[in-house]
């Protein structure tokens, strides 16, 4: 994707925002913004084909397929965002460096450092596989384009983009290296979470705040109470119903 | 790069400009309301709500149908609009229809487990429907994960269910053509749990979209010309979008249990599942079972659903394929006629 194209598409996006902001009811805005973003993606793709750009592999970059943040953004970190969205209430679009993550911990343990390193290694491996995916998809796309009698149309090219992407994605994501990197990523995340919890427990003790265990106990008690109440209510209603049926029979 | 034949005009941009015009004037604006069929709340328990739909002016059938949807996404997909409503089609045929809405779990629900959902909440809903209709057995229609819950329920509470319908329901989670299963083998589900103790709905949505990332994230939005020509098509498109973005969080405990027991260990199919120390054996199901699967289902491949045949007495079992994908199988106008006809013939 060229910088010129990006600027021009960003202008279109701004124009769209201004129309939407001024005249369209709130409930439609997110849907239209999403639609607009997808349209701009295809326009960029078509323009790059028109310009005969040699490397179109970024159009299969997976993070670009998640995007919700604008038409031409290079969402290189969105895959990572998914994993961090699991762990935090607000997702960070940048992969946290070890230094940044350290600041979350007062005195990072060796275990924490190891987990963060493992997380980064897995993330780098997955990103590498995603880059390869883009290149493989491009090769497949070129073959599909060449197989067409005459010049492929825009519609055919878009269809080939999809076919190349889905086929390659399926192939790459079912390979051992991908599954292994994914597994390592989740394991590292789990370890990190365990260490975060230990840290939070330590901190809550120091600050005199309720510990996670206390909160979990309360949640458990509330859960039990709700269940018992629902069971009691059901039992009562069933008993009343049985009495009503008996009374009806008698009369 | 191969030769490419560029178009003279930017069709998409023209179509989108036209579409925006439609949204500017009040009279033209599409209606985004969903799940609008008239219904009454008959039972509420924490976040769960049980609804009874208002009957149509047709001869009423005796046995009510309780629809059980998945914990993922919202159950109003069964009543998306007048044209695409499984609920309305059943009401038109005279069936008393009930819908179980699991609601939106919050952090206080993170300890809700599968036993709570199946032997607790679903059990109490079934009893409510039985009492309201003065009947000993009801019909259960489970969709996707709701179908799994319905199967477990029917195996454990045999005296409650007259007939069972499972729609796009996974049974064997380890069939070869199941990418979701392959991925989840390598995911430690507890790592998905966020600070609320639950799994964020957006995360689940993202995982599902990852099954076909280019199609689901991009290609579905490539052609919009037809949306300008047909207001109903536009409204349907927008309602589906609304539904797709409406993702409740999953109660952490139940979600982890589901992933471990079903996706990773395939316990239901292997006959190793138990809930509150009670074995869940599908062969124990003694009611007739209609199993409907979608030919193009990328979330629950046909082979996963069809595995149910291995467990149910053949005399009690029927299965049929529906055209379309996981959701299209019961929302598409093309499949609705066949689906309704299959349901009515079988339930009658």
Give dist(CA B207, CA B184) in Å, integer.
Answer: 10
**In chain A, pLDDT over 70 holds for what percent of residues?**
73
Question: Taking 60 as the threshold, does the pLDDT of residue B135 lie above it?
Answer: yes
Question: Taking 60 as the threshold, does the pLDDT of residue B159 lie above it?
Answer: yes
Q: What is the DSSP string of chain A?
A: --HHHHHHHHHHHHHHHHHHHHHS-GGGHHHHHHHHHHHHHHHHHHHHHHTT-S--GGGG-HHHHH--S-SS---TTHHHHHHHHTTSSS--SSPPPHHHHHHTSSS--HHHHHHHHHHHHHHHHHHHHHHHHHHHHHHHHHHHHHTSSSS--HHHHHHHHHHHHHHHHHHHHTSHHHHHHHHHHHHHHHHHHHHHHHHHHHHHHHHTPPPHHHHHHHHHHHHHHHHHHHHHHHHHHHHHHHHHHHHHHH-
Please judge whether A219 and B197 are an interchain contact, meaning their C-beta atoms are less than 8 angstroms apart: yes
Domains in chain B (CATH in brackets) are 12-347 (3.40.50.1820)
Please judge whether A89 and B4 are an interchain contact, meaning their C-beta atoms are less than 8 angstroms apart: no
Q: What is the mean pLDDT of residues B148-160?
A: 98
Give dist(CA A123, CA A95) in Å, integer.
Answer: 9
Give dist(CA B223, CA B12) in Å, integer.
Answer: 7
Lowest model confidence (mean pLDDT) among A19-28, B196-205, B244-253, B280-289: A19-28
Which residues of B are less than 8 Å from A24 in CB distance?
20, 23-24
Q: How confident is the model at residue B324 (pLDDT cuts 50, 70, 90)?
A: very high
Q: How confident is the model at residue B1 (pLDDT cuts 50, 70, 90)?
A: low
pLDDT value of position A20: 66
Question: Taking 70 as the threshold, does the pLDDT of residue B121 lie above it?
Answer: yes
Give the model confidence (pLDDT) of A45-58 as tens digits. 988 988 888 889 99
Q: How close, in Å, is residue B135 to chain A by CA atoms?
A: 12
Give dist(CA B329, CA B312) in Å, integer.
Answer: 23
pLDDT value of position A67: 36
Q: How confident is the model at residue A8 (pLDDT cuts 50, 70, 90)?
A: low
- Those of residues 148-207 in A touching chain B at CB distance below 8 A are 150-154, 157-158, 161-162, 165-166, 169-170, 173-174, 179-180, 182-183, 186-187, 189-190, 193
B49 phi and psi, to 5 degrees? -135, 140
Higher pLDDT pick, A106 / B105: B105
Mean pLDDT computed over every residue of chain A: 78
Higher pLDDT pick, A68 / A122: A122
Give dist(CA B275, CA B284) in Å, integer.
Answer: 15
Tokens at B214, concatenated:
């280019």
Q: How confident is the model at residue A103 (pLDDT cuts 50, 70, 90)?
A: low
Which residues of B are less than 8 Å from A150 in CB distance?
5
Which residues of B are less than 8 Å from A151 in CB distance?
3-5
pLDDT value of position A97: 55
Please judge whether A162 and B219 are an interchain contact, meaning their C-beta atoms are less than 8 angstroms apart: yes
Tell whether A220 is within 8 A of chain B (Cβ). yes
Nearest to A189 among B5, B128, B191 (CB): B191
Tell whether B108 is within 8 A of chain A (Cβ). yes
Mean pLDDT computed over every residue of chain B: 93
The 10 Å CB-count burial string (b at 16+, else e) for A176-197 is eebbebbebbbbbbbbbbebbe
Question: Taking 50 as the threshold, does the pLDDT of residue B305 lie above it?
Answer: yes
Tokens at A131, concatenated:
């880059």
Complex ipTM tops 0.95: no
Lowest model confidence (mean pLDDT) among B167-181, B216-230, B247-261: B216-230
pLDDT value of position A13: 64
Maximum CA pair distance of chain B? 71
Which residues of B are less than 8 Å from A41 in CB distance?
218
pLDDT value of position B341: 94
Question: How do the domains of chain A map onto residue ranges?
Answer: 55-209, 210-251
pLDDT value of position B299: 94
Q: Give how far Cα B82 sits from Cα of B41, B56, B115, B226, B331, Å.
A: 20, 13, 35, 20, 11
Q: Are B162 and B211 in contact (CB under 8 A)?
A: no
Higher pLDDT pick, B80 / A14: B80
Higher pLDDT pick, B184 / A109: B184
Give the model confidence (pLDDT) of A142-189 as tens digits. 999 999 988 898 889 999 999 999 999 999 988 999 888 888 888 888
pLDDT value of position A65: 40
Residues sharing a CB contact under 8 Å with residue A218, sequence separation 6 or more, in sequence order: none
Q: How confident is the model at residue A86 (pLDDT cuts 50, 70, 90)?
A: very low
Q: How confident is the model at residue B80 (pLDDT cuts 50, 70, 90)?
A: very high
């Amino acid at each position: 994707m060229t910088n010129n194209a990006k600027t021009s598409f960003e202008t279109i996006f701004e124009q769209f925002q201004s129309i939407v902001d001024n005249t369209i009811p709130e409930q439609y805005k997110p849907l239209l913004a999403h639609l607009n973003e997808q349209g701009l993606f295809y326009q960029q793709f078509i323009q790059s084909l028109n310009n005969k750009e040699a490397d179109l592999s970024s159009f299969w970059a997976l993070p670009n397929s998640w995007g919700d943040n604008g038409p031409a953004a290079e969402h290189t970190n969105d895959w990572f965002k998914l994993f961090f969205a699991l762990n935090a209430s607000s997702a960070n679009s940048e992969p946290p460096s070890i230094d940044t993550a350290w600041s979350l911990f007062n005195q990072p343990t060796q275990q924490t450092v190891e987990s963060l390193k493992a997380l980064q290694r897995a993330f780098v491996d997955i990103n590498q596989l995603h880059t390869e995916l883009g290149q493989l998809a491009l090769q497949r796309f070129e073959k599909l384009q060449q197989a067409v009698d005459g010049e492929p149309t825009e519609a055919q090219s878009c269809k080939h983009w999809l076919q190349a992407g889905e086929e390659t994605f399926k192939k790459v994501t079912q390979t051992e290296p991908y599954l292994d990197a994914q597994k390592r990523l989740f394991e590292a995340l789990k370890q990190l979470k365990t260490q975060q919890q230990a840290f939070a427990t330590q901190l809550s003790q120091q600050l005199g705040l309720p510990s996670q265990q206390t909160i979990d106990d309360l949640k458990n008690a509330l859960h039990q109470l709700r269940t018992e109440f629902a069971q009691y209510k059901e039992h009562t209603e069933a008993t009343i119903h049985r009495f009503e049926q008996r009374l009806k029979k008698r009369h | 790069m191969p030769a490419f034949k560029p178009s003279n005009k930017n069709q998409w941009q023209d179509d989108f400009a036209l579409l925006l015009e439609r949204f500017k004037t009040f009279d033209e604006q599409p209606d985004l309301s969903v799940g609008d069929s008239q219904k009454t709340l008959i039972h509420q328990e924490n976040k769960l709500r049980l609804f009874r739909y208002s009957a149509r002016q047709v001869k009423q059938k005796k046995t009510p149908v309780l629809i059980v949807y998945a914990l993922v996404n919202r159950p109003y997909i069964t009543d998306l609009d007048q044209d695409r409503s499984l609920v309305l089609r059943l009401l038109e045929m005279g069936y008393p229809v009930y819908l179980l809405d699991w609601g939106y779990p919050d952090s206080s629900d993170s300890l809700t487990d599968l036993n709570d959902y199946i032997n607790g909440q679903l059990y109490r809903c079934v009893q409510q429907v039985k009492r309201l209709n003065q009947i000993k057995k009801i019909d259960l229609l489970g969709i996707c994960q709701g179908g799994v819950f319905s199967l477990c329920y029917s195996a454990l509470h045999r005296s409650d269910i007259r007939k069972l319908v499972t729609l796009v329901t996974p049974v064997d989670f380890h069939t070869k053509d199941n990418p979701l299963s392959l991925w989840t083998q390598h995911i430690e589900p507890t790592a998905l749990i966020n600070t609320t103790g639950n799994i964020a709905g957006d995360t689940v949505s993202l995982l599902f979209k990852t099954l076909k990332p280019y199609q689901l994230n991009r290609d579905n939005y490539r052609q919009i010309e037809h949306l300008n020509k047909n207001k109903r098509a536009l409204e349907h498109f927008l309602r589906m979008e609304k539904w797709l973005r409406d993702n409740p969080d999953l109660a952490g405990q139940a979600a982890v249990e589901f992933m471990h027991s079903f996706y990773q260990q395939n316990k239901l199919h292997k006959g190793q599942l138990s809930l509150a120390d009670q074995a869940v054996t599908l062969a124990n199901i003694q009611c007739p079972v209609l199993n409907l699967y979608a030919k193009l289902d990328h979330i629950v491949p046909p082979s996963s659903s069809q595995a149910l045949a291995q467990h149910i007495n053949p005399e009690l079992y029927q299965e049929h394929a529906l055209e379309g994908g996981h959701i299209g199988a019961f929302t598409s106008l093309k499949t609705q006629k066949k689906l309704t006809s299959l349901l009515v013939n079988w339930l009658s």
